[in-house]
């Protein structure tokens, strides 16, 4: 091999390397395009998160200088805070009831609206609309009036000879009024389910019909398995949102009666903005984050047993 061949080979290799790394030669344009996201992420997400982590290790009350106390806030929370235990209990009750009911309602309505009929777009929009306004203060006030002693719900019950009660002021039913409000806001999950239903090939239903499968069997043997990735996504998002529920509990019941609706986010708000214990509230916020991560990890760990993808082979579990 002569020198010219060696030089040509080296030149080709250098050219190939330059071509591979050319995307990094002038990254300024790319950084300029993603600058709004970077500013938002570091300024509005990352920096506040790490600042709250620092505050959780301090005695910070806005009225006095910040004092470093280490893990003392976390120790107080787990050993000497009965309201923390109560709020966690109520929050898990709320999550365990609201998330499955919301998913079931969204899936059933999506199945009903997955048809080609006149005016179907209007019905889909009408069903989705509560998700846009459901988290507003106005809707929470309206919900409080609906389930009050003189509310329209009791008036409807009186037509059938049933004597109503103060559903919001009763400890046994107050939390269920908040759960019902959450289930009513199933529109977003319904739209995602509807998109998933449209991706299921009709050939599967036609072949199963030939084999004698009815609608119920098709739903459990075809629809649910094919929708399992979407169910998984909606489940994760529902759990995250439910843990952070605040507006309806604050406006409708304010944690009452008898702390039956005293959810975790409401307790965190009270510590931060009523007692001005911002360090303590920051510790509560990080505990909430850890709880959400643990629950999401459990769901993700079990997903290999019930979530099926197109790449899965029949009869084999994913590893």
Nearest-10 crossing angle of helices 82-113, 278-302: 40
What is the model's pLDDT at position 100? 95
Average pLDDT on 298-316 reads 79
What is the model's pLDDT at position 9? 47
Is the pLDDT at 266 greater than 80, yes or no?
yes
Query: Where does the pLDDT of residue 8 fall: very low under 50, low under 70, confident under 90, or very high at 90 and above?
Result: very low
Q: How far apart are CA 163 and CA 154, in angstroms?
A: 7
State pLDDT tens for residues 104-148: 999 999 998 888 778 788 888 888 888 877 677 888 888 988 898
DSSP string of 28-70, one letter each residue:
HHHHHHHHHHHHHHIIIIIHHHHHHHHHTTEE--SSS--EE-T
Is the pLDDT at 319 greater than 50, yes or no?
no
User: Domain 82-305 is classified in which CATH homologous superfamily?
Assistant: MetI-like (1.10.3720.10)
What is the model's pLDDT at position 133? 77
What is the model's pLDDT at position 194? 92
State pLDDT tens for residues 17-76: 555 445 555 577 778 888 899 999 999 999 999 999 999 999 998 888 899 999 999 999
Is the pLDDT at 316 greater than 70, yes or no?
no
Six-digit token pair at 155? 């008036």
Nearest-10 crossing angle of helices 72-79, 278-302: 70
Respond yes or no on whether the N-terminal peptide bond of residue 257 is cis (omega within 30° of 0): yes
Is the pLDDT at 183 greater than 80, yes or no?
yes
Please give the residue that has the higher pLDDT: either 123 or 228. Answer: 228
Average pLDDT on 246-253 reads 91
Is the pLDDT at 280 greater than 60, yes or no?
yes
Domain boundaries, the chain: 27-68, 82-305
State pLDDT tens for residues 162-173: 888 889 988 999
Q: How far apart are CA 284 and CA 273, in angstroms?
A: 13
Q: How far apart are CA 153 and CA 134, in angstroms?
A: 18
State pLDDT tens for residues 201-218: 888 888 888 888 888 898
Task: Give the start-end residues of each E strand in the chain.
Answer: 58-59, 67-68
Is the pLDDT at 312 greater than 70, yes or no?
no
The tokens 């309602």 sit on which residue?
Answer: 105
Q: Dihedral sign, CA of 147, 245, 96, 74?
A: negative
The tokens 């959400």 sit on which residue?
Answer: 292
Six-digit token pair at 40? 């938002």
What is the model's pLDDT at position 23? 55
Please give the residue that has the higher pLDDT: either 315 or 71. Answer: 71
Element (H, E) at 20: helix 3-21
What is the model's pLDDT at position 13? 52
């Amino acid at each position: 091999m002569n020198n010219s061949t060696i030089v040509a080979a080296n030149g080709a290799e250098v050219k190939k390397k330059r071509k591979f790394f050319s995307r990094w030669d002038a990254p300024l344009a790319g950084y300029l395009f993603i600058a709004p996201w970077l500013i938002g992420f570091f300024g509005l997400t990352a920096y506040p998160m790490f600042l709250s982590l620092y505050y959780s290790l301090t005695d910070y009350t806005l009225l006095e200088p910040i004092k470093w106390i280490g893990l003392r806030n976390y120790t107080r929370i787990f050993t000497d805070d009965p309201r923390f235990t109560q709020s966690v209990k109520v929050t898990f009750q709320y999550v365990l009831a609201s998330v499955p009911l919301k998913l079931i309602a969204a899936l059933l309505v999506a199945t009903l609206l997955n048809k080609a009929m006149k005016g179907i777009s209007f019905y889909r929009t009408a069903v989705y609309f509560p998700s846009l306004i459901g988290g507003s203060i106005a809707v929470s006030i309206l919900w409080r009036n609906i389930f009050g002693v003189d509310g329209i719900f009791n008036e409807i019950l009186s037509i059938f000879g049933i004597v109503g009660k103060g559903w919001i002021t009763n400890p046994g039913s107050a939390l269920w009024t908040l759960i019902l409000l959450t289930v009513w806001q199933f529109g977003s999950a319904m739209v995602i389910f509807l998109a998933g239903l449209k991706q299921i090939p009709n050939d599967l239903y036609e072949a199963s019909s030939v084999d004698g499968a009815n609608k119920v069997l098709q739903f459990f043997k075809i629809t649910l398995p094919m929708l399992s990735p979407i169910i998984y996504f909606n489940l994760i998002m529902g759990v995250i949102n439910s843990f952070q529920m605040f507006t309806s509990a604050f406006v409708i019941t304010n944690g009452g009666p008898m702390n039956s609706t005293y959810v975790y986010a409401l307790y965190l708000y009270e510590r931060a903005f009523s007692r001005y214990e911002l360090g303590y509230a920051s510790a509560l916020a990080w505990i909430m984050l850890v709880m959400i991560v643990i629950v999401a990890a459990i769901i993700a760990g079990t997903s290999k047993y019930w979530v099926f993808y197109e790449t899965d082979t029949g009869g084999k579990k994913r590893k």
